[in-house]
Amino acid sequence: MTDSKRIVLSSDHAAISLRQSVAEHIAKQGWEVVDIGPTTPESTHYPLHGAAAAERVASGDCALGIILCGTGQGIMMAANKVKGIRCGVCSDTFSAAMIRQHNNANMLSIGARVVGEGLALDIVDAFLGAEFEGGRHATRVDMIEPS
Ligand code: RB5
């Protein structure tokens, strides 16, 4: 697990309720949650929220990020356009741990219309509880975005 426990959360309108559940869940575990909204249910644009959260991670303001939209896919695509971001969509706990262990993911995306709240919180726990293994995986991760 990363040393810093500051984490950014964001979503579009399709995932406000689940985002709030995630925020409460991880705050109880001692995470400093930077929830950048939105807070109102009006239809909005997932690329804006994915990019905004990704910038918080890429800048070093937050160690990790969790983003959510209806499928988790669109907001993940937007986040991955920001240099330094490695974000995966997960609908299962195995993948959520593996994107940390093997891919050194610094952001997790979840689809609020894909998984229920209980599974979503388990996915979050798997992601936050896993550590990057380095070694041969570091070589491969470096190949994703050469500096
Ligand atoms: C919004 O209706 C929906 O398109 C969005 O939440 C997301 O699923 C896009 O990838």
Q: Which of 69, 87, 90, 137 is catalytic?
A: 69
Q: Which residue segments constitute the domains of the chain, with CATH numbers given?
A: 6-144 (3.40.1400.10)
pTM: 0.97
Q: What confidence score (pLDDT) does residue 26 get?
A: 98
**CA 106 / ligand 1 centre spacing (Å):** 22
Section 66-91 average pLDDT: 98
74 C-alpha to ligand 1 centroid (Å) = 6
Packing angle, helices 117-129 and 16-27, rounded to 10: 50
**2 confidence band (pLDDT: 50, 70, 90):** low
**Mean pLDDT computed over 53-73:** 98
At 28, list the tokens: 């109880």
Q: Is 102 annotated as catalytic?
A: yes
Q: What is the DSSP string of 37-56?
A: ---S-S---HHHHHHHHHHH
What pLDDT score was predicted for residue 146?
Answer: 74
Q: Which of 13, 25, 102, 137 is catalytic?
A: 102
